[in-house]
Structure 1
Amino acid sequence: MTQHVSPPRDSADKVPSAPRTPDWRSLMFRADVRTLSLLGVLAVLVLIGGVTKPDEFLDTRNLQLVLTQASVIGVVTVGMTFVITSGGIDLSVGAIVALASVWATTVATQEYGFGGILFTAVLVGVGCGLVNGLLIAYGGMVPFIATLAMLASARGLALQITDGRTQIVTVDSVLDLGERDAYVLGIPPLVLVFAFVTIVGWLVLNRTTFGRRTVAVGGNPEAARLAGIDVRRQRLYLYLLSGLCCGIAAFLLIILSGSGQNTNGNLYELDAIAAAIIGGTLLSGGRGTITGSVLGVLIFTTITNIFALNNLQSDVQQIAKGAIIVAAVLVQRRTASTT
C-alpha cells in the first residue's frame, strides 16, 4: 500500500494575512498628544510675552487684538484645511481676499449698505472658488497651477478696480462692528464669527459624510472613486468652500481696516498653509484637523504680536516661522513612518 506524504509547506504556500489597520485608539492618542503639544507651545509663547512685555502683552486690549487679527487668517485657514486634507492646495486665497474686499468696497457696492458689502464679498469669494474647482476637478489642471493662475488674475483685477488707491468704507453699520461698543461680553464680533466658522468646520469635517469623503479623497482618490464617491464633484465643493471662507475673511478684513485695498491678504496663502501643517494636517492629504489648524493660527499670530511689542525686525520673525514649519513637517514625516 502506497502512503502519500504531503510535501512540506514553505512560506510561499502560506495564506498572507490581511494588513493591519491602525488602531483608532492609537490614532486618537497621537491626535491628543499633538493638540497638547500645540497648546504647550502656545503656553510658552504666552509666558514669553508675559515676561518680556508684561504690561503690554497681558493687557486685555492687546489680547483682544491678537484674537481679532487671528480671526481673519483663521477663517481662511479653515477652508485651506479642507482643501489640503483632500490632497489639494490653494495658492490663491490671499488674492481672493483682496479681490473680494475691493469689489465689496466700491462706491457702487456701498450704496447697498451692509447687506450689499457682505453679499458681494461672499459672492466674489465663491465665484473665484468655483473657477478654481472647475479648472481642477473638470479641467484636469494641477491645483498648484490652477490656483497660481487665479492668484495672478485676482491680484491684477483687484489692482485694476482700485487703480492702486485705498477705498474707504463709509457704511456706519459696517464700521460700528469694529468698535468696542459692539463687543459681546468683551469679545470682538470678528472673534465670534471665527469661533462659529471653526465650530461648523470641525463638525463638517469630523461628523458628516462630506468630511469623511474629503478624507477618503485625500487618502486614496482611486479607492474613493471605486467606493462610489464622485471625486470630481467633491473637489469642486471643496474649492467652493475655500472661496466661501475667503469671502467671509474679506468682510472681516473690511470691518477691521475700514477699507478695501488691492494689497489685502498679502501672503495669506503661506500663513494658512503653514498653520494647517503645524496643526497636523498632512500636506499629502488624507488627514486634517481643524483644532490643530486654529492652534497653528494662534501660535503664528502670537509670535507676530510678541515680535512687534519687542520691536524686533520682521526678518527675524519670518526666520522663526520658517523654523517652526520645518520642525512641524519633520515631526509629521516621523509620525507617518511609524504608522
Structure 2
Amino acid sequence: MTQPATPARRNDPAGPPKTSPPRRGDPRAAPGARADVRTLSLLGVLAALIAVGGLTRPEEFLATSNLQLVLTQASVIGVVTVGMTFVITSGGIDLSVGAIVALSSVWATTVATQEYGFTGILFTAVAVGVGCGLVNGVLIAYGGMVPFIATIAMLASARGLALQITDGKTQIVTVDSVLDLGVKDANILGVPPLVLVFAVVVALGWLLLNRTTFGRRTLAVGGNPEAARLAGIDVRRQRLYLYLLSGLCCGIAAFMLIVLSGSGQNTNGNLYELDAIAAAIIGGTLLSGGRGTIAGSLLGVLIFTTITNIFALNNLESAVQQIAKGAIIVAAVLVQHRTLREGRGT
C-alpha cells in the first residue's frame, strides 16, 4: 500500500522562518519613515517661519494680499523646481534654468510674437523652453558632455541671446488676455490663477515620479545607471526626456513670469538655478541621484519664498538673505551625507 506523501520538513518546528526586523544601517530600515520625519521637519520649519513673520510684522505678513503674494511668487520658481527635482533625481544637474526662463520670456514678448496674441506668447515661451531642454539633453545624453559643463554653456548662450533680442531693454506686454490673468479679478475663489497652475504642475509631477514607469526609470537611472542599462532601460533616452521636461517647466514658468510682471526682460530668472536646486535639496532630493520628492521640493520652495518675504517686510538687506539661503543649503547637504552614512551602517 502506497504511503501518503509527507510534507517537507520545515526549518522551524514551530512554523515557517520569520523575517527579522531590519536593523539600523539595513537598507530596508524604514525609508518611508525617514521621509515622513523629513516632511514633518520641513512643515515645522515652515510653521516656525510663519510664526516669525506673524510676530515681527503681524498686520503686513498675515494679510490675505501678502499671503497671496507669497504663493504667487512661489509658483514661478516652484514650477522650475519641479523640473529640477526630476533632473537631480536622475543624477544630473541643470544650471541653465534661469537663463532659459529669461530667453523664453523675451522671445515670447517680442512685437512679432505678440501679434499672435495669447496663444502665440504661450506657445513661444513653451517652445523655446523645450528647445533649450532638447539641446541640453542631446549634449548630455548623446554627446557625452558632463551636465555641469553642458548647462553652463546653455546658461551663457541663453543669457547672451536674451540680451541680444532685447538690446538691454524691457519688452512691455500689450496683450490684454495675458495681462488679465495677473489682476485680482482673475482670482478663482480667492486663489490667483498662477497658484492654480503651480498646483496642477506639482500634482502632475508627483504622479509622474511616484506612480508611473517614467518615474521608476528616473529613480533607477539616478541610483545606478549601469544597473538600469542592464535592466533594459534606455538610459540616454531617459536623460533626454528629463532635460526636455526641465525645459518645459522653464517655458511654463516664463509665461507665468510674463503674466506676473507684464513684460519680458533679459534679467528674468536671475539665480533661479540656485533657488531651484536649494529647494529640491532641502526637500530631500539627493544630489547624487536615486531619490527625489516632489512634496519635499514644494515645501522647500515655500520655505525659501517665505524667508524672502519676511526679509522684505523687515527691510533686511538682500545680501543677508543670500547668506541665509547658502547656510540652509550647506545644512541640508550635511544632513543628507549623515543620512547616507547611517544608511550604509558606517
Class of the TM-score when normalised by the shorter of the 2 chains:
over 0.9
| 1:154-173 → structure 2 map (5 Å cutoff) | 154-173=158-177
- Per-residue CA deviations over 1:47-100 (Å, capped at 9, x if unaligned) read 000000000000000000000000000000000000000000000000000000
1:227-267 Cα deviation digits (max 9, x unpaired): 00000000000000000000000000000000000000000
Q: 1:129 aligns with which of 129, 133, 138?
A: 133
Could you tell me how far apart the structure 2 residues matched to 1:55 and 1:21 are? Answer: 50
Partner Cα separation in structure 1 for residue 327 and residue 257 of structure 2: 28
Shift of 1:22: 2.4
Q: Are 1:322 and 2:332 an aligned pair?
A: no
Q: Which residue of 2 aligns with 1:11?
A: none
Partners of 2:325 and 2:47 lie apart in 1 by 17
- Residue of structure 2 equivalent to 1:22: 27
In 1, the alpha carbon distance for the partners of 2:141 and 2:58 equals 50
Structure-2 residue corresponding to 1:285: 289
Match of 1:212 in 2: 216
Letter aligned with residue 37 of structure 1: S
Aligned to 2:67: 63
**2:226 equivalent to 1:222:** yes
Q: What is the one-letter code of the residue matched to 1:59?
A: A
| C-alpha distance in structure 2 between counterparts of 1:28 and 1:302, whole Å | 27
| Match 2:156 to one of 152, 163, 176 | 152
- For residue 4 of structure 1, what is the aligned residue in structure 2? none
Give the drift of 1:322.
1.2
Match for residue 252 of structure 2? 248
Q: Counterparts of 1:27-106 in structure 2 under 5 Å?
A: 27-106=31-110
CA distance in 2 between counterparts of 1:320 and 1:130 reads 34
Superposition misfits of 4+ residues, deviation over 4 angstroms: none
Give, in angstroms, the shift of residue 316 of structure 1: 1.1
In the alignment, the residues of structure 1 paired with residue 288 and residue 223 of structure 2 have an alpha-carbon distance, to the nearest angstrom, of 8
TM value normalised by structure 2: 0.91
Offset from partner CA, 1:119-160 (integer Å, 9 cap, x none): 000000000000000000000000000000000000000000
The 3-state SS of whatever aligns with 1:164 is: coil
> Structure 2 CA distance, aligned partners of 1:134 and 1:268?
23
1-side partners of 2:139 and 2:75: how far apart? 29
Distance in 1 (CA, whole Å) between partners of 2:188 and 2:342 is 46
Structure 1 unaligned residues grouped into runs of 5+: 1-19
| CA–CA separation in structure 1 for the residues paired with 2:327 and 2:163 | 33
1:318 CA drift (Å): 1.1
Give the superposition deviation at 1:329. Answer: 0.8
**Cα distance in 1 between the residues matched to 2:308 and 2:132:** 29
TM-superposed CA distance for 1:21, in Å, is 6.1
2:270 corresponds in structure 1 to 266
Identity among equivalent positions (%) equals: 86
Q: Distance in 2 between matches of 1:314 and 1:100?
A: 26
In structure 2, the partner of 1:7 is: none
Q: How many residues align?
A: 320
Alpha-carbon distance between aligned partners in 2 of 1:335 and 1:284, rounded to the nearest angstrom: 13
Q: Distance in 1 between matches of 2:299 and 2:159?
A: 29
CA distance in 2, matches of 1:55, 1:243: 39
Please report how far the alpha carbon of residue 319 of structure 1 lies from its aligned counterpart in structure 2 after TM superposition.
1.3
Query: 1:134 & 1:104 partners in 2: Cα distance?
Result: 24
Report the Cα distance in structure 1 between the residues aligned to 2:282 and 2:331, rounded to whole angstroms.
8
Name whichever of 94-103 and 323-332 sits farther off. 323-332
SS in 2 for 1:311: coil
What are the residue-to-residue correspondences of 1:226-241 with 2, within 5 Å?
226-241=230-245
TM-fit CA distance, 1:323: 1.2
Shift of 1:326: 1.0
- Partner SS for 1:283: coil
